[in-house]
Amino acid sequence: MRLTELRTIANEIISSNGINANVEAVKKLSKFYQQITADKNNFDIAADNEKYVAGGQALSTYHAAVCTDDYLRTCYFIKGVYKAIITLQLDFPNRPIKIIYAGSGPFATLLLPLLPLLSEKAVEAIILDINSSSVSSVKKLIALLNLNQYRISVVQTDATTYQKPEGWEIDLFVTETMHYGLTAEPQVSITKNFLPQLLPHTILIPNQIHIDLVYTFFGKEPFIKFNQHPLETTKLQDESSRNHVDRLFSIDKNATELLNNHQIQTKYYPVPDDLSIYPDLTVFTEINIFEDLTLKTAESVLTNPYCITSFYHLKAHREFQLIYDYSETPKWAISLRN
């Protein structure tokens, strides 16, 4: 019964078309997870057990569970993972697709719902999370949903240092461990750790994370929250109130050189003279998950604009440089020149 319900929900997510349908399908998935994990004797979903690793804050089990209610994020990532698996099956029809999913949270939301849509031998997966309660939850969900016949390993580990098993070739690597502006969480450190472990054919999800420099009036920018419909924020966007200055960098499979150390430094930019229209220095995030699946400004908590500072604080200087440092908790800093 539960497996049939999950299969129905997964099919609805995959086939949903349009923002309203996307949102409604994910709401059903969120409700399903809430109901199935309501037994507190078996599931500790409320655990407040965030951990800090070299590269950011790994979310607590509770906050990782809440992420399901970032509706378009959940929908687009599930669709992207499914489309990637189908693409890889066309390239490698005679063997299982090998997947590593880093930072699963308690629901393994980006993979577990897809298993009922796939044959038992279609995939082999290693699911990673640093929190014991999240790992325990995923294992219990696999058992409760009668998914034990699938070749899934669930491992408690730090994904910023984890090394794949020897001889294990990764076809699909999935990690969604980020915050807006690539701050706080260890997405970049996890990606940096895994890039040398990927093969030329490996699909990375998200495929690309673009970070752009934008001058804007930050107080007028949209900002989405969990459980909020994306149309409530995206309709507020006004392109005329922004000055898209430059693409600072992109995180993708070709970012190996970019991530040689734990800092990314931009070139220097002039401090603008007129601050009346664009008084704030911000970074915007755009996430291409796979193929045509892209999260744009404020369509997800992940793509909310991030204000670094007001230009009024920089008026005494001629130029500024941005420094993205992810050696510990990822953050942005400014270097100034007179």
Model pTM score: 0.97
Distance set, CA 338 to CA 259, 280, 315, 318 (Å): 29, 19, 10, 5
Cα 83 from Cα 76, distance rounded (Å): 10
What are the beta bridge partners of residue 175?
A: 102
Long-range contacts of 28-36 (CB under 8 A, 24+ apart): 29/68, 29/74, 29/109, 29/113, 30/68, 30/69, 30/74, 32/5, 32/6, 33/65, 33/68, 33/107, 33/109, 36/2, 36/141, 36/144
Cα 66 from Cα 11, distance rounded (Å): 22
Residue 234: band (very low, low, confident or very high) from pLDDT cuts 50, 70, 90: confident
What are the beta bridge partners of residue 243?
A: 215
Asked if 73 and 176 count as a contact pair (C-beta separation under 8 A), the reply is yes
Is the bond preceding residue 165 a cis peptide, omega within 30 degrees?
no
Q: Is 80 exceeded by the pLDDT of residue 236?
A: no
Residue 232: band (very low, low, confident or very high) from pLDDT cuts 50, 70, 90: confident
User: Which secondary structure element, helix H or strand E, spans residue 53, and what is its range?
Assistant: strand 51-53
Cα 232 from Cα 299, distance rounded (Å): 9
For residues 157-186, give the mean pLDDT. 98
Looking at residue 240, its pLDDT comes to 72
Looking at residue 233, its pLDDT comes to 84
151-156 and 123-129 strand pairing:
parallel
Orientation of helix 19-36 relative to helix 71-91, angle to 10°: 90
Residue 237: band (very low, low, confident or very high) from pLDDT cuts 50, 70, 90: low
